[in-house]
Amino acid sequence: MNPNHLSRRNFLTRIGVGGVALGTIAVGATAACSKGAGAAEGGATAKCDDTTGLDDAAKALRTSLKYSDAAPDPTKVCEKCLQFVAPEGEAACGGCKLFKGTVSPKGTCAGFAAKPA
């Protein structure tokens, strides 16, 4: 098996939650996010990778899902994912149903699941 393949079973084993539904994982606060320095208006990528205040398990989960603030594939960005929680108010960062912490709408991770058209 490809060591980079992240099956559902492998994912659950890595984070140690067994049969606990992923929907019960709390969504991180969005208030701590700010736009990255020098970001241009419009298609700017928000800097939402701050893990301050997250415990080691939450940080490990973000790492195992390979979260990145900038998606190399524009068709697989967080704002097009079923798991994305849109930012509130004027916040630049949203959240994710899979892990805690802030998430850039233009970010991506291995848990991407496209919203239905």
Please, which residues bridge with residue 85 across strands?
95
Domain containing 35 — which CATH number? Answer: 4.10.490.10
The model carries a pTM of 0.62
pLDDT digits (tens), the chain, 117 positions: 555 666 666 655 555 543 333 333 333 333 344 444 333 344 555 689 889 999 999 999 999 999 999 999 999 999 999 999 999 999 999 999 999 999 999 999 999 999 998
User: Do residues 95 and 30 lie in contact, with contact meaning Cβ atoms separated by under 8 Å?
Assistant: yes
CA 9 to chain centre: 19
User: Do residues 25 and 97 lie in contact, with contact meaning Cβ atoms separated by under 8 Å?
Assistant: yes
Domain with 31 in it = 1-117
The domain total for the chain is: 1
Please, which residues bridge with residue 94 across strands?
103
Please, which residues bridge with residue 68 across strands?
108
pLDDT at 97: 96
What is the distance between the alpha carbons of residues 64 and 43, in angstroms, rounded to a whole number? 27
